[in-house]
């Protein structure tokens, strides 16, 4: 099973709560900016290390993160 998350760029307000929440440190500040000019986050999981724990999605106050399980 491969787990991953999808981040909705239009909802991310760059608070970085999810960055600190991920036990595997798979969410990073990106070079992309939102409409306020703040740098939003991206999911960086080249090694497939995501646990699918949804701690990031639960922590996000703006419901910008969707968790996906893929068999």
Q: In terms of CB distance, is 33 or 51 closer to ligand SF4?
A: 51
Instruction: Indicate which single residue of 16, 30, 32, 39 sits in contact with ligand SF4 (rule: CB under 6 A).
Output: 16
Two structure tokens written together for 10: 């239009």
Left if phi > 0, otherwise alpha if psi is -120 to 50, otherwise beta: which for 22? beta
Identify the DSSP state of 70: E
List, in order, residues 6 or more apart from 39 with CB less than 8 Å away: 14, 29, 30, 31, 32, 33
Instruction: Indicate which single residue of 51, 66, 68, 69 sits in contact with ligand SF4 (rule: CB under 6 A).
Output: 51
CB of 65 to ligand SF4, least distance (A): 5
> In the complex, which residues of this chain contact ligand SF4 (CB under 6 A)?
5, 7, 12-18, 21-24, 26-27, 41, 50-56, 59-60, 62, 64-65, 67
């Amino acid at each position: 099973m491969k787990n991953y998350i999808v981040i909705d760029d239009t909802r991310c307000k760059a608070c970085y709560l999810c960055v600190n929440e991920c036990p595997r440190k798979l969410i990073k500040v990106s070079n992309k900016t939102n409409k306020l000019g703040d740098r939003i986050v991206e999911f960086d999981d080249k090694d497939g290390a995501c646990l699918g724990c949804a701690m990031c999605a639960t922590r996000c106050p703006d419901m910008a993160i969707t968790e996906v399980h893929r068999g």
